[in-house]
Amino acid sequence: METRKQKHIGVIATLLAILLLVAACSSNEPGTSTGQNGKSEGNASGEGTTSVQPEGLPIVSEPLTLTMVAGQSHLHGEWKDKLLWKEAEKRTGIHVEWNLVPNENLQEKKNLLLASGELPDAFYGGGITTQDLVTYGEQGVFIPLNDLIDRYAPNFKKLLEQYPEIRKGLTAPDGNIYSLPKMSINPTHLTSTKLFLNQKWLDAVGLPAPKTTDELYEVLKAFKEKDPNGNGIADEIPLSGADMTSVLRSLAGAWGLNNRGISHANVDFDEQENKLRFVPADPKYKEMMQFLSRLYKEGLLDNEIFTSNNSIITAKIAQDTVGAFMNINTVWAGDKRTIFRGIPEALKGPEGDQLWAGVSPNLQVAGAFVITNENKHPEATMRWADYFIDGDGAVLYWMGMEGVTYEMRDGKYRFVEDIVNNPDGMTLDQAISRELVAPFTSHPIVREERFAWDTGEGLEEVMEAAAWLEPYKPKEVWPAFIFTAEENERIVALSNDIGTYVGEMRAQFVTGKVSVEEAWDEYISTIERMGLNDYMAIYEAAYERYKN
């Protein structure tokens, strides 16, 4: 017979089994979700449960607080009281505690946080580089986002399907995606460098806009010699810009160079040889240097081009001394911007090349947003970030709220008058930044034409210039490649040496301090001795991963 003691033990065992069953069932209740990093979704204090809604708003069933590190422009001021984030919290149910770091200190602060392990839930425009993604992704500091994107980021997932180069450019060597990027699909913005000519000066010298590099030379020569500003002084600067880079981006395509866009200044693809090419060592680059040297020697290219900046070129345009300049838009030109127009087609070079190389990729900044392994709510965090990529969230990020910061006019999103023509004398960027954070940021968002009407991208002459160049864009535009940790260490060292030397010699060639013809062979030999073969081998490996 069963003793009383045996019955007691049996009752206890039964109760324990029931408790275990209840616990197992409750762990699968809709009120709790398990994060990709194995931590359960809970509220900010870690108590109770927070259900992540698969779609719709709010994102969570109970209020949730996340901590994020973000770079801060001098325009922005404090973020917590901005209309953007207050309204976002109302809609999503997620409050963000921002740790704002001035952009000039961002890299140092980011490195300190990563080294110390004192991590936020996420870095939002937090200065994360592609190498950070590889290093801290492999270490598990940044969590893989592949599954989270698939399940909780419908807006971003749609973009990956529409623009496969974004997925290719984001995928780390280990096959994981560790970040959401900053992106652009606005064709006017993607044509990142344009050549604008002073139409008033063209009319004065009786010449049409140039269509070839030879015609460009003739136009610049006429600007120099025929006093198109009519002041009786030989003060004309035929061709200028904020830096030499913009000049190269505008002319390289006429020699068939930089045929994969601006993300790789020194490497493109040689169509004839069917392999990667180091641009500054190509014979066509030599020809371009000779052309630029001629412009510089004859005073057709601004002799201050290597020391120029935005403020300097703006002052020169204001004085009516500039005949042509290169930039993404005409904002520099102030009240004289409407006399500048883009070229009607990409310049054709001496061998028939006709390409516009100054084009950006859809993938702009790879490390715009990462989730750390300290985050207990990765699903909710992913849904929050994805909200601003499209739909109502994108409108909120870029434009704010209708009737407060924007209005619809002629079916277009336009900022209210208080922002566009601020009565207190604020610039457009300053007025926008009172309630938003869109100007000068690297956030996981998409630049679109529909939000560009009151910016430099939306100016009539800028959109016209971009449309004229559209047929001449490269057939393929590369984003920055992601190197392995070992590759990166080596290529950084090689790039410092080779890149510095190439830059120094470019200045010497253009200014005529060194003859291109006489010094070219020694120039090539020096680059090769610096490790050009190793440099290109690393690039080849990264390119193969990108392709596949």
Alpha-carbon distance of 388 to 171, in angstroms, equals 22
Q: Are strands 64-72 and 122-124 parallel, antiparallel or unpaired?
A: parallel
CATH of domain 50-186+362-451: 3.40.190.10
pLDDT of residue 255: 98
Centre a 10 Å sphere on the Cβ of residue 140 and count the other Cβ atoms it contains: 11
According to DSSP, the β-strands at 94-102 and 64-72 are parallel
Residue tagged 């050009």 (tokens): 532
Dist CA 197 CA 201 (whole Å): 8
Structural domain spans, the chain: 50-186+362-451, 192-358+478-547
In 3D space, the residue among 55, 75, 50 whose CA is nearest the CA of residue 65 turns out to be 50
As a whole number of angstroms, the distance between CA 515 and CA 518 comes to: 5
Instruction: Output the pLDDT for position 13.
Output: 42
Tokens 């409108």 correspond to 395
Residue the block writes with tokens 């069933």? 61
Three-state DSSP class for 212? strand
Instruction: Report whether 511 contacts 288 (CB < 8 A).
Output: no
pLDDT tens by residue, 18-60: 333 333 333 333 333 444 444 444 433 333 357 899 899 999 9
pLDDT per position as a tens digit, 138-187: 999 999 999 999 999 999 999 999 999 999 999 999 999 999 999 999 99
Torsion angle, CA of 43/49/54/55, rounded to 10 degrees?
-50
pLDDT band at 275; cut points 50, 70, 90: very high
Pick among 3.40.50.300, 1.10.3720.10, 3.40.190.10, 1.20.120.420: CATH of 192-358+478-547 = 3.40.190.10
Mean pLDDT score of the chain: 92
pLDDT at 191 over 70: yes
How far is it, in rounded angstroms, from Cα 354 to Cα 195?
Answer: 14
**Within 13 Å, how many C-alpha atoms sit on residue 65's CB side?**
8
What the block records as the tokens of 87 is 């309204």
Nearest to 82, CA basis, from 322, 389, 400: 400
Q: How confident is the model at residue 357 (pLDDT cuts 50, 70, 90)?
A: very high
Global pTM exceeds 0.85: yes
| pLDDT computed for residue 386 by the predictor | 98
